[in-house]
A and B are shown apart, each in its own frame.
Chain A
């Protein structure tokens, strides 16, 4: 049996968990149809069963109650291990979020087996060999998982989430977990929603204007911010910009920042390193502005303008204002 740790939030099942279940189905097919079970820990959305059933899940092991209301990595791992014992799984997987990676790392550690983070594909079941992203996706590693269960996380966007042709039962099975006192030591004590609004507006923006090292310094963002305002959009930046302290981290786009999917992304002075690309690749249209016509962002974009962002962007702003009169 294949066990998938499914992450849920107030809004429902996380996209990456549905991607992971989809990945699990290809694994199941290669293994002559071994069933897929899910484990959900803590408060769950109402349509949990229906949605997971449509993705081909057989049983949904659900651990709930006071101990699981707030996240604890150790308690969650105990729940996953308990579900694995009930169902006798040979594979344990999760989506490659920080949380998913944490949970599978804890499960692998407790079971004394290896763990592969951010897997994109698998080749062969015995030996179980996977390919995973390293260096934020700039390189791939072929890795052997030599012990059972095979424990790994699936990189975000590695597969499209697709419902199954034949749905599963999706039966909710209450999961009893024997927690040790240590399981609750490292537990979240409170969650504040407010401060993530900024990153949320970046993720849902129709237009994002990006700025990288080409901005030149903390004072180099005036024009791009103006362009973002003119287009009713938001500013997004590269990691160089946040690392240098020019702009706050919640504005960062990429592997270790937000993943955006606007109608139009306008990266200015951003080279387009793969870790940045990981966060903006699902933009519908990319219009890159860069002095270097050969920069990866310029060749991968839909449209490119060669030039100094400090000349091109003000000219665009001016033209927009002129047409609006």
Chain B
């Protein structure tokens, strides 16, 4: 039986345009809404798979505003059975703070496996999992796409620079997940109903945060626009093929 803790972060939905708040401290999500990073979604999926295969349970944890309950509920909807919210102002936290808060929760309970995303879609710090492993004195494997647990060992696969890498690590362990290995499942109606009934455990920060060192956010200058419009609709085919011939990619 492996009990799994999955850490998920509430982030703005960046599929549209990125805007900044007036104080330049965070992305402005007023017009785009919030979501969970792709990597975190895959971590939830892997957690649910491991728990199902080993008769364990999945707890999800988020550190952030009270609204992060939305992301916790969506994880509950796909198979997590418990949720913890550490309420805090996300702007005040750095990766070391987040790792420290997660470590508090882990050290009070018996989670053999802790899953996180490899990097958060907004801050992209690439380090919470590593700092967590260090704090808990547990081995950490990063960038994992698929994994399974057999007894006291977690076997994982990651996409490395020379090909597919396999890892085999003793539990308890920390694993960070990268999208591309599994398809996150959609919640079923019963899943959603169950999710609504779960009581989210509320906690507050265990210590004064050290912060992230952020001075401010800016937007990069727009790429110059200089496209030559070849035309509209299927009639452009001739011009396009002329161009492809000129470029030497078709006869």
CB distance from A178 to the nearest CB of B (A): 18
Q: Does A239 touch B at the CB level, under 8 Å?
A: yes
* Selected contact of B213 from candidates A74, A144, A245, CB within 8 Å: A144
A92 at the interface (CB under 8 A from B): no
Chain B's closest residue to A297 (CB) is B227
B227 touches A264 (CB 8 A): no
Most buried by A among B20, B121, B124, B233: B124
CA distance A293 to B232 in the complex (A): 10
Q: Which of B130, B236, B247 contacts A305 (CB 8 A)?
A: B236
Query: Besides A191-B160, A312-B240, 4 other CB < 8 A contacts?
Result: A114-B96, A117-B119, A188-B166, A305-B229
Contacting pair A138 B18 (CB below 8 A): yes
Q: Residue-by-residue, is A29-72 near B (CB-CB < 8 Å gives 1, otherwise 0)?
A: 00000000000000000000000000000000000000000010
Is A133 engaged at the interface, CB distance under 8 Å to the other chain? Answer: yes
Considering the chains assembled together, what is the distance between the CA atoms of A316 and B238 in angstroms? Answer: 7
Q: Is the CB of A185 within 8 A of B180?
A: no
Q: Which residues of A have CB within 8 Å of B15?
A: 240, 273
Q: Can you give 26 contacting A-B residue pairs, CB < 8 Å?
A: A9-B162, A98-B118, A114-B96, A117-B119, A117-B126, A135-B27, A135-B122, A138-B220, A139-B27, A140-B219, A141-B216, A145-B213, A188-B165, A190-B165, A191-B162, A193-B163, A207-B249, A232-B249, A274-B220, A299-B225, A303-B227, A305-B240, A312-B237, A320-B244, A320-B250, A324-B251
- Supposing A134-B124, A277-B223 touch, asked if A186 and B140 sit within 8 A by C-beta, the answer is yes
Residues of B within 8 A of A219 (CB): none
Mark the stretch among B66-74, B104-112, B168-176 that contacts chain A: B168-176
Q: Are B214 and A141 in contact (CB under 8 A)?
A: yes
Give residues of chain B (28-67) contacting chain A, Cβ–Cβ below 8 Å.
38
Contact residue among A7, A129, A144 (Cβ-Cβ distance under 8 Å from B161): A7
CB B168 to nearest CB in A, in angstroms, measures 5
Tell me whether A249 is interfacial, beta carbon within 8 Å: yes
Tell me the minimal C-beta distance from B179 to chain A in angstroms: 7
CA distance A281 to B220 in the complex (A): 15
Inter-chain CA distance A126–B159, complex, in Å, is 38
Judge whether B231 and A305 touch: CB under 8 Å: yes
Asked if A312 and B219 make an inter-chain contact with CB atoms under 8 angstroms apart, the answer reads no
Say if the beta carbon of B141 comes within 8 Å of chain A.
Answer: yes
On A, residues with C-beta under 8 Å from B are 7, 9-10, 14, 71, 73-74, 97-99, 101-102, 105-106, 108-110, 114-118, 129, 131, 133-146, 153, 182, 185-196, 206-207, 230-233, 239-240, 242-243, 245, 249-250, 252, 256, 263-264, 273-275, 277, 281, 285, 287-288, 293, 296, 298-308, 311-312, 314-316, 318-320, 323-324
Whether A306 contacts B159 in the complex (CB less than 8 A), given A105-B126, A142-B214, comes out as no
Query: Across the interface, do B217 and A134 meet the contact criterion of CB distance under 8 Å?
Result: yes
Total B residues in contact with A, Cβ cutoff 8 Å: 79
List, in ascending order, chain B residues with CB within 8 A of A105's CB: 126-127, 130-131
Looking at the complex, which one of A74, A194, A299, A324 makes contact with B163 (CB distance below 8 Å)? A194
- Report which of A189, A306, A320 forms a contact with B232, defined as CB distance below 8 A: A306
- Assess the A74–B139 pair: CB atoms within 8 A: yes
In the assembled complex, the CB of A283 is this many whole angstroms from the nearest CB of chain B, namely 12
CB of B191 closer than 8 Å to a CB of A: no
Which one, A14, A142, A239, contacts B215 given CB within 8 A? A142
Kindly name the residue among A137, A239, A303, A314 whose own CB sees the greatest number of chain B CB atoms within 10 A.
Answer: A303
Q: Does B234 contact A (CB under 8 A)?
A: yes
Give chain A residues whose Cβ lies under 8 Å from the Cβ of B212.
114, 143
Do A288 and B227 have beta carbons less than 8 Å apart?
Answer: yes
